[in-house]
């Protein structure tokens, strides 16, 4: 069963992302959520989601650190990490690339684009 992990410290953003991706549950996709980077890392280690929509600015461990841990230290290459952040500067995008993010999207995001990205990654 394909899995998508939604990670954001803002409950409203988590809810919006979950509602946006809900229709994929009908296709057998499991949606999992986390509210901080440490929890996200634990879930990634134990559940190995196919896609992670990951906020950058979070308590305990930011999204850049989580991405770096997954891609560079744990080397879990089959996890596609989509960084979602208000940080849209060239420097921030480069940092996302440097830590191994597969896709970098800025907030506010278009829900249709989020759904399309998930479908494309999962081949749905």
CATH code at position 23: 3.40.50.2300
Task: Give the residue, 75 or 31, on which the prediction is more confident.
Answer: 31
Q: How far apart are CA 124 and CA 122, in angstroms?
A: 6
The pLDDT of residue 74 is 85
SS3 category, 69? helix
Task: Give the residue, 123 or 91, on which the prediction is more confident.
Answer: 123
The pLDDT of residue 77 is 66
Instruction: Count up the domains in the chain and report the number.
Output: 1
Q: 83 in the Ramachandran plot: left (φ > 0), alpha (ψ -120 to 50) or beta?
A: beta
pLDDT one-digit tens code per residue, 38-85:
999 999 999 999 999 999 999 889 999 999 999 988 877 689 999 998
Model pTM score: 0.94
**pLDDT > 80? residue 87:** no
Whole domain around residue 7: which residue ranges?
A: 3-122
């Amino acid at each position: 069963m394909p899995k998508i992990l939604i990670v954001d410290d803002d409950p409203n953003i988590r809810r919006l992302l979950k509602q946006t991706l809900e229709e994929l549950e009908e296709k057998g996709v499991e949606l999992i959520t986390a509210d901080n980077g440490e929890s996200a890392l634990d879930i990634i280690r134990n559940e190995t989601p196919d896609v992670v929509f990951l906020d950058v600015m979070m308590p305990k461990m930011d999204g850049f650190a989580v991405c770096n841990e997954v891609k560079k230290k744990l080397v879990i290459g089959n996890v596609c990490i989509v960084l979602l952040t208000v940080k849209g500067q060239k420097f921030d995008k480069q940092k996302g690339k440097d830590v191994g993010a597969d896709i970098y999207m800025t907030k506010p995001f278009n829900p249709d684009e989020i759904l399309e990205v998930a479908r494309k990654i999962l081949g749905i």
